[in-house]
Amino acid sequence: MVVSLDKRKSDGTVGKALEILDLVASFGRPVRFSDVLDVAEFPKATVYRFIQTLTSQGMLSYDPDRQTYALGIRLVRLAHSAWQQSSLAPVAHPHIEKLAGDVGETVHLAQLDHAQVLYVDKIDPGKPIEMFSQAGKVGPAYCTGVGKAMMAYLEALHLAEVIGQQSFHVFTENTLSDEAALRAELIDIRSNGYGFDREEHEPDIICVALPILTARGRVLGALSVTSSTQRTNLAALEALVPRIQVAVTAIANEAESWRFPDQSKFQSIETAKG
Amino acid sequence: MVVSLDKRKSDGTVGKALEILDLVASFGRPVRFSDVLDVAEFPKATVYRFIQTLTSQGMLSYDPDRQTYALGIRLVRLAHSAWQQSSLAPVAHPHIEKLAGDVGETVHLAQLDHAQVLYVDKIDPGKPIEMFSQAGKVGPAYCTGVGKAMMAYLEALHLAEVIGQQSFHVFTENTLSDEAALRAELIDIRSNGYGFDREEHEPDIICVALPILTARGRVLGALSVTSSTQRTNLAALEALVPRIQVAVTAIANEAESWRFPDQSKFQSIETAKG
DNA sequence: AAACCAAGTTTCAAATAATGGAACCAAAGT
DNA sequence: ACTTTGGTTCCATTATTTGAAACTTGGTTT
């Protein structure tokens, strides 16, 4: 009946190993072997071997003084490559920077990761930027501006799956608390081309968000301008939409036409039969 | 006893899958299936299955418009957790920020990743920071200030292995070009407690670097203050050592005594299975 | 000091998943 | 219509993973 909501359809050994990796991540702090064992659904020896393998591979790091494991440094290196070879984030960065300076408010760039919002870039025109402490952060999709803006443009099947994974936890009195309310809101967003966060996630925090779409209509990400009710209001944020739209359009175009340098890696497989 | 870090020790299926991941990363741009196949040492069907698995797991992302694979968004999320749960980077950040403002020069925080230097944080008191574009970057160990500072305090066995993996490629006329020269320099650094980069990697770029050590003498990372010969000189940088030392000592102490806050506040990010 | 306990590590036959040669398919080229 | 290129699937063989249990290590209690 349900269209495979098995989000973790155990992809063989590799899938299981990555499950352990996620488990370590979920603690948010370095962990002992037994911490992992307690929450893992594999037997002792299996968990042990996975942790050994992941450590030897640099996906986990072991602190011999405290006898704890944490996520490894190799992930930081890989994430750097991921960010760099993404067609969105590097292209968007200068536009976001300009927009942030322009409107004098915090700008977020987000993408959809499974059913969550993942912030891939952030510019706060006031404070110095915090690096990994902000980028890489995840949040709920159903109660953030960027999340709703992206969901509004998903095709039906994908949307159903994403909605099915929302928790609909009530954070504030404005939080959309069920699927019906969310779907109504998404239709609204789609007809306007932009959406708001009306203090749905955190009190006093409001934002406008626009989706970043390919020419074919595929969702690449979303851009939002965030502020607080103490500084501004929804109407004022709405007035910024045209300026955000300019940035969004530019990003979408560049992201789609962007060719990575050295596309001529094809060199020669030409039958060197001479 | 000591875990010998044979860098190419294929740890079963998981190791092979991660090898494919590294391969994709090494292109620095989105790749086609055949791109990976060409450089991989596994047969077609095997590479295919690994790519499928990694994609389904979010470690790779697939662009259906261009039919290319890139490193996945899940890595960014994991790297965020890695950075956060590292006992070094988050603790060091405020100190680095203060130091950078204090001395008015660029400050780097690096760790050793296999035999390379990995920059985990960077503050440039002039420009706005570029996020992932800087953090996660790797560089050679034998010709950078941070690299040498860390190597100087490794125990013999580990050092031998790290040195064995250095390329000793000559970047400038000051580059240390063989093991003997490097070892001599390391002894020197150890006796001083700090080291320099004397335009060994890039012309005009110089720096002082200090290792960050645990009370037991284990190397946690290194801190450097970087500048150019047009702005300053080695003697002036050397004069900054006491101030850097203050930061380094503070970071080392905090990193070792750091207790992670109660985990109850985090959680919920990864609804583990279901 | 012996007994105990908890945490971590190793073993090994059975169960399972990975392997890869080859066939297959689709689209582009000739 | 035929060939090539790039990508996907099959399936019998093979190698790897699995996990209960035994073992080791280090710390605590009696």
Mean pLDDT of A16-41: 93
One-letter amino acid for residue A227 of the chain = S
| pLDDT over 70, % of chain A | 87
Residue A89 has pLDDT above 90, yes or no: no
**pLDDT number for residue B127:** 60
**pLDDT number for residue B136:** 80
pLDDT band for position A128 (cuts 50, 70, 90): low
Residue B126 has pLDDT above 70, yes or no: no
- Same domain, yes or no, for A17 and A69? yes
**pLDDT number for residue A9:** 54
Min Cα separation B101/chain A (Å): 11
Whether A39 and A33 have beta carbons less than 8 Å apart is answered as no
Mean pLDDT of A146-169: 94
Higher pLDDT, A142 or B80: A142
- The model's pLDDT over B199-216, given as tens digits with 9 standing for 90+, comes to 999 999 999 999 999 888
Mean pLDDT of A237-248: 96
CATH number of the domain encompassing residue B171: 3.30.450.40
Which residues 40-79 in chain A have a CB closer than 7 A to strand D?
42-46, 49-50
Nucleotide D5 C1' to residue B34 CA (A): 10
Instruction: Evaluate whether residue B272 is within a structural domain.
Output: no
Q: Do B54 and A23 touch (CB under 8 A)?
A: no
Mean pLDDT of B162-191: 95
Helices (H), chain A: 12-27, 33-39, 44-56, 73-85, 89-103, 145-151, 156-164, 179-192, 234-238, 241-257
Which of B108, B110, B107 lies closest to B88, judged by CA? Answer: B110
Instruction: Evaluate whether residue B211 is within a structural domain.
Output: yes
Tell me the chain B residues in contact with residue A20 when contact means C-beta distances shorter than 8 Å: none
**pLDDT number for residue B134:** 65
CA of A10: nucleotide with nearest C1':
C17
Tell me the chain B residues in contact with residue A256 when contact means C-beta distances shorter than 8 Å: 65
Instruction: Evaluate whether residue A264 is within a structural domain.
Output: no
**Among all residues of chain B, which has the CA nearest to that of A98?**
B128
**pLDDT number for residue B45:** 94
Nucleotide D18 C1' to residue A121 CA (A): 42
Instruction: State whether the Cα torsion A96-A101-A102-A107 is positive or negative.
Output: positive
CB under 8 Å to B163, separation ≥6 — which residues? Answer: B142, B151, B179, B182, B183
Instruction: State whether the Cα torsion A188-A189-A190-A192 is positive or negative.
Output: positive
Mean pLDDT of A78-106: 89
Residue B54 has pLDDT above 50, yes or no: yes
- Same domain, yes or no, for A165 and A201? yes
Instruction: Evaluate whether residue B7 is within a structural domain.
Output: no
Please tell me whether residue A216 adopts helix, strand or coil conformation.
coil
Residue A224 has pLDDT above 50, yes or no: yes
Q: Give the helix/strand (H/E) hosting B243.
A: helix B241-257
- Same domain, yes or no, for A48 and A171? no
- Same domain, yes or no, for A114 and A46? no
**pLDDT number for residue B6:** 40
Which residue of A65, A77, A81 is in closest CB contact with B218?
Answer: A65
Q: Do B260 and A90 touch (CB under 8 A)?
A: no
CB of A48 under 7 A from strand C? yes
Higher pLDDT, B1 or B135: B135
- Same domain, yes or no, for B185 and B248? yes
- Decide the pairing of beta strands B205-213 and A219-228: unpaired
- Same domain, yes or no, for A63 and A174? no
| In the block, residue with structure tokens 């030897």 | A56
Which of B137, B63, B136, B259 lies closest to A259, judged by CA? Answer: B63
- The model's pLDDT over B220-272, given as tens digits with 9 standing for 90+, comes to 999 999 999 999 999 999 999 999 999 999 999 998 876 665 433 333 333 32
Instruction: Evaluate whether residue B6 is within a structural domain.
Output: no
**pLDDT number for residue B78:** 93
Instruction: Evaluate whether residue A5 is within a structural domain.
Output: no
| End-of-domain residue from the set A56, A75, A94 | A75
Residue B129 has pLDDT above 80, yes or no: no
Residue B2 has pLDDT above 50, yes or no: no
Residue A190 has pLDDT above 50, yes or no: yes
Tell me the chain A residues in contact with residue B25 when contact means C-beta distances shorter than 8 Å: 77-78, 81-82, 85
Which residue of B82, B256, B273 is in closest CB contact with A71?
Answer: B82
Residue B80 has pLDDT above 90, yes or no: no
Mean pLDDT of A193-207: 95
Which of B215, B137, B194, B205 lies closest to B171, judged by CA? Answer: B205
**Residue A13, Cα to own-chain centre: how many angstroms?**
26
**pLDDT number for residue B259:** 63
Q: Do B30 and A216 touch (CB under 8 A)?
A: no
Mean pLDDT of B156-167: 92
Average pLDDT score, chain A: 86
Residue B19 has pLDDT above 60, yes or no: yes
C22 C1' closest Cα residue? B45
- Same domain, yes or no, for B176 and B206? yes
What is the domain count for chain B?
2
Q: Do B83 and A260 touch (CB under 8 A)?
A: no
In terms of residue numbers, what domain contains B183? Answer: 86-257
- Same domain, yes or no, for B207 and B106? yes
CB under 8 Å to B242, separation ≥6 — which residues? Answer: none
- Same domain, yes or no, for B148 and B225? yes
**pLDDT number for residue A10:** 64
Nucleotide D29 C1' to residue B263 CA (A): 32
- Same domain, yes or no, for A188 and A56? no
One-letter amino acid for residue A130 of the chain = E
Residue A83 has pLDDT above 90, yes or no: no
CB of B46 under 7 A from strand C? yes
Instruction: Evaluate whether residue A271 is within a structural domain.
Output: no
**pLDDT number for residue B267:** 36
pLDDT band for position B5 (cuts 50, 70, 90): very low
Mean pLDDT of B12-30: 93
- The model's pLDDT over A252-263, given as tens digits with 9 standing for 90+, comes to 999 887 766 543
- Same domain, yes or no, for A161 and A252? yes
| End-of-domain residue from the set B57, B76, B95 | B76
pLDDT band for position B90 (cuts 50, 70, 90): confident
pLDDT band for position A132 (cuts 50, 70, 90): low
Residue A122 has pLDDT above 60, yes or no: yes
Residue B157 has pLDDT above 90, yes or no: no
- Same domain, yes or no, for B57 and B91? no
Mean pLDDT of B6-25: 82
Residue B274 has pLDDT above 80, yes or no: no
Q: Give the helix/strand (H/E) hosting B123.
A: strand B116-123
Which residue of B15, B79, B90 is in closest CB contact with A79?
Answer: B79
CATH number of the domain encompassing residue A49: 1.10.10.10
CB under 8 Å to A271, separation ≥6 — which residues? Answer: none
Higher pLDDT, B253 or A9: B253
**pLDDT number for residue A273:** 29
Residue B273 has pLDDT above 70, yes or no: no
Which of A177, A157, A181 lies closest to A168, judged by CA? Answer: A177
Residue B130 has pLDDT above 90, yes or no: no
Please tell me whether residue B68 adopts helix, strand or coil conformation.
strand
| End-of-domain residue from the set A25, A52, A75 | A75
Please tell me whether residue B256 adopts helix, strand or coil conformation.
helix
Higher pLDDT, A272 or A69: A69
Instruction: Evaluate whether residue A18 is within a structural domain.
Output: yes
